[in-house]
Every structure is written in C-alpha cells, then in structure tokens.
Amino acid sequence: MRLPAFTDSFDADWLSLREPADRAARNEKVAAKLNDWRGRLGSRKGAALKVVDLGAGTGSALRYLEPRIPGPQDWTLVERDPDLIAEGARRLKRQASAWGYRPADLAQDDLVALVAGADLITGSALLDLCSAAWINRLVAACAQAGAAAWFSLNVTGDKQWSPADPADWLVERAFARDMRRDKGFGPALGPQAGFQAAEAFAQAGYSIALGPSNWRLGAGSAALQRAYLKGYAEAARVQRPDLTRRISNWRADRLRAVLEGRSHIRVGHVDLFAAPSGSSA
Ligand SMILES: C[S@@+](CC[C@H](N)C(=O)[O-])C[C@H]1O[C@@H](n2cnc3c(N)ncnc32)[C@H](O)[C@@H]1O
C-alpha cells in the first residue's frame, strides 16, 4: 500500500480504509445546508443537478452525498490517477446517478473550463494539499460558474493522541512541515486551507456553513490507525532525519498501543459549504 502523507499519490487501498472513518466524520449539519440549498433551487431547476467533484479518487464524495441531495444528479469526477479512475469506475457501477470520470490535472489544467456548467463543485480531503493561490483560483472559478461548493475533510492540524507520549509534540512539529510541502499546487496551506477557502468564498459574496468533521479512531479502526501512523511517522522522519530514532520509537510505542486496543487518535478536520449570493448557506 502506498502511504498517504509522505507520497503524493493515494492508492485505492488507503482510500477504502479511510472511507468508513470519513463517512462517520463528515459534518451532517453542513451536508444538511447543501440539501436545503438544493431544495430551494428545486423550482428553478427541473434537470439533473450538475456536480463536479475535484480530486475524486474512487468516488467517496458521490457515495456520501448522493442520498443526501434531493433529485437527479449528474456527476463529473475529476481525477488524475488512472488506477483510482479504474477502481472508481468499478465501484460506482451500481450508483443511481449519472456519473463519468474526467482525467485531468487540477494543478495544471484550466479550472474555469473544468467546472464550467456545474451547479455544485465538491472536493473531499483535497484542499489541504493546495496553495493559497490555487484556492483563490478555485473560488474565482466557482463564482464564475455561479456554483455552490462543498469541501469536506479539510485538515485543521488539531490532533489528540491517547495514551499521550512525551514525543508527541516533536513528531507533530516535524509532520507540520510536511503539511506545508508543495504537492504540485504550490506551497500547501495544510491546516489553514479550509479556513482560507471559507474566507475567500465569503469575500466572493458566498454565505458559509463551517463545521467540524474530526476522525475519532479507536479500537474499531485498528487497520486505519496502523496505516495512518506509518504514513505520519515516515512523513515526519523525512522532514527531520536527525530525529529518526525518536520518531521510530514513537511509532513503535503507538503501534503497540493499537495492537493492545489502547490507542485513540483524534484528527481534526473541518467541512465547508458555500452557497452563492442570492441563496443562503
Ligand atoms: C486524499 S485523496 C482524496 C480522494 C477522494 N476525494 C476521497 O475523499 O476519498 C486526494 C485525491 O486528489 C487527487 N489529486 C491530487 N492532486 C491532483 C491533481 N493535481 N489533479 C487531479 N487530482 C489530484 C489524488 O489523486 C486523490 O485522489
């Protein structure tokens, strides 16, 4: 399995492993605002709602949102990784909505063209990979399309480890450097991304709903905890090779706690829904 944080690609096993935790974490109140917005649009739009999902992976956002949005939907899934596109196409076969993948590189291709004609633009676990400049371009493209936006699972950097370990802060500081690393979009905003996007949408005249979508990983998420800890420790080690021994001891202690069912990890995220002017979030 290619691991999440250190590499810049995300394999289907990792996305499958995290999908139940993502589903449990997504903010239902924020999703309800999206549902309300769609309801208000109803009388004006008889046709299927056109949704463009950016960095779609295997289609997790479609699987989550489809039953939460009233009426017919037509999804375009924008993704650059051919393996994820193949796996997503397999997994989405029985989905009720119309859908299709659009292979594209979000960092290079014309965002305005990618989202043209959309009613709703979505992204899940994407914005923290992106730079401030790219997020501003995204907001401008959404505004130009007159589309609403839902961006879920934006990392906030808030972390709680149990049991606590004296090296937690040290590893967290090393990992924070990785969060800011360029993942193809320019220097990543990491934990600021969700809030920066909210501010940019507000400045563009959108009304905003923001709410927490934290992962709460316990004994029932042992496999996800193991994969997360491996990726987290490796990303920290690459940033601080001088701390290799301390980081690998930290990881070994944490993996032992997972094995013994004693480990709990809370990973902070925030969900955002932005409704264009004329409708409210
Ligand atoms: C953390 S994964 C989230 C996937 C999916 N949205 C989900 O919630 O399961 C980030 C996704 O963004 C995609 N991605 C990253 N950079 C991209 C780029 N420059 N162009 C298109 N997709 C990109 C990755 O391939 C991956 O599918």
Position 1 in a domain: no
Residue 223 falls within a domain, yes or no? Answer: yes
Mean pLDDT throughout 27-54? 89
Distance from the alpha carbon of residue 55 to the mean position of ligand 1, in angstroms:
4
> pLDDT class for 278, splitting at 50, 70, 90?
confident
pLDDT digit string (tens) for 65-98?
999 998 999 999 999 999 999 999 999 999 999 9
pLDDT at 4 over 50: no
The single-letter DSSP state of residue 241 is G
Residue 280 is assigned to a structural domain of this protein: no
**Would you call 201 helix, strand, or coil by DSSP?**
helix
- Please give the share of the chain, as a percent, with pLDDT higher than 90: 91
Residue 261 in domain: yes
Is the model's pLDDT at 221 over the cut of 50?
Answer: yes
Instruction: Identify whether 203 is part of a domain.
Output: yes
What rounded mean pLDDT belongs to the chain? 94
**Atom 11 in ligand 1: residue holding the nearest Cα:** 55
pLDDT (average), residues 147-176: 97
- Is 137 exposed, middle or buried, given 0-12, 13-18 or 19+ CB atoms closer than 10 A? middle
Q: Which domain holds residue 142?
A: 12-275
Judge whether residue 118 has pLDDT over 70.
yes
5 part of a folded domain: no
> What is residue 42's predicted lDDT score, i.e. its pLDDT?
72
Calculate how far, in angstroms, residue 98's C-alpha sits from the geometric centre of ligand 1: 21
Domain count, the chain: 1
d(C-alpha 204, C-alpha 206), whole Å: 6
Span from the CA of 26 to the centroid of ligand 1 (angstroms): 17
Question: Taking residues 259-268, what's their average pLDDT?
Answer: 98
Identify whether 2 is part of a domain. no
pTM over 0.85: yes
Query: What is the distance between the alpha carbons of residues 97 and 70, in angstroms, rounded to a whole number?
Result: 11
pLDDT tier at 46, thresholds 50, 70, 90: low
Q: Which residues line ligand 1 (CB under 6 A)?
A: 10, 15, 55-57, 60-61, 79-81, 84, 105-107, 124-126, 129, 184
pLDDT of residue 199: 98
User: 96 in a domain, yes or no?
Assistant: yes
Q: In this model, does residue 45 exceed pLDDT 60?
A: no
Q: 3-class SS at 155?
A: strand
User: What CATH number is associated with residue 211?
Assistant: 3.40.50.150
